[in-house]
A = this chain, B = another copy of it.
Amino acid sequence: MNKWPKQVTIKEVGPRDGLQNEKTQIATEDKIAWINQLSKTGLTYIEITSFVHPKWIPQLADALEVAMRIERAPGVTYAALVPNQKGLEKALAAEVDEVAVFMSASETHNRKNINKSIEETFPVLEEVVKTAKRAGKTVRGYVSTAFGCPYEGNVSIEQVIRVSERLFAMGIDELSLGDTIGVATPKQVLELLEAVLQRFPKEKLAMHFHDTRGTALANILVSLEMGITTFDSSLGGLGGCPYAPGASGNVATDDLVYMLHGMGIATGIDVERLTATALFIQDKIGRPLSSRYLQTIAR
């Protein structure tokens, strides 16, 4: 039975994508303690923070301190999001292992998010990638709104390909295609991946789903069937409170691990430690997180 791969890499983005969407301000000490716990779950990749200006994301204003003070576990890649050269300098000062650049596939979302057109964004990221590479770092490229834009609605496959090609041409090592607003369904995932996999090797692709409309695990299932083996997720579904307006969380790491392990797909993750780590951050957030698995086992 070769329908699904035997092994999958999960990239934990909770400390960045999760926390940046939470209203609760988590203390720096708690972030550090949480990331240190995450490092002991078997996860091999943690996106620990974002070096975006604190004016935009006050929740991550302590990025440098977090990045400097966490304990680095061997075998774990610690990554940080950087919007530009200034952010990159901080990330390099903190000696993260990998930096992640980002832009949107849709013009309006890119403008609202980065305050630049897509064309204006390319040279900025090009310089970041070049500098990061020169510093010996690997670089991940995020394409946001790859499955739909909150302002424009549909986003064409051609547009996703166009942006992705430019990012690969800059030298990124991995591309993460993001369903930022959680609208994708499996058919759309299949169609986008059919086009994308004609151009880029599946080893360089990751999928980044939000579970806003409940379809994330189904979207991951069809991605697995297309040969994708890297997925982004947030522990507990952090950032996605079903009761908080506007929040739309990443697929929950614990829901994803439950499904994968149940399918005999290895992740290297220790479920008990993962759960304890989810309960730790849930306690700091101060409300039940949105993960189905966590709420079920927490009973």
Which residues of A are in contact with B by a Cβ distance under 8 Å?
3-4, 182-188, 190, 211-215, 217-218, 220-222, 242-243, 245-246, 248, 252, 255, 258-259, 262-264, 288, 290-293, 295-296, 299
Shortest CB distance A174–B (Å): 24
Are A242 and B188 in contact (CB-based, < 8 A)?
Answer: no
How many copies of this protein are present in the complex? 2
Are A215 and B262 in contact (CB-based, < 8 A)?
Answer: yes
Given A214-B291, A221-B221, 10 further pairs, Cβ under 8 A: A184-B262, A187-B262, A213-B255, A214-B217, A215-B262, A218-B221, A242-B242, A242-B288, A242-B290, A246-B299
Note all chain B residues with C-beta closer than 8 A to A246: 299
Partner of A212, one of B185, B262, B290, B296: B296
Are B295 and A255 in contact (CB-based, < 8 A)?
Answer: no
User: Mind listing 6 A-B residue pairs with CB under 8 Å?
Assistant: A184-B262, A213-B255, A213-B292, A214-B292, A215-B255, A242-B295
Known A-B contacts A221-B186, A248-B296, A288-B243; A215 and B258 likewise in contact (beta carbons under 8 Å): yes
Top 10 closest pairs, chain A to chain B, by CB: A185-B262, A214-B292, A214-B255, A187-B263, A242-B295, A217-B218, A245-B299, A218-B221, A218-B218, A213-B293
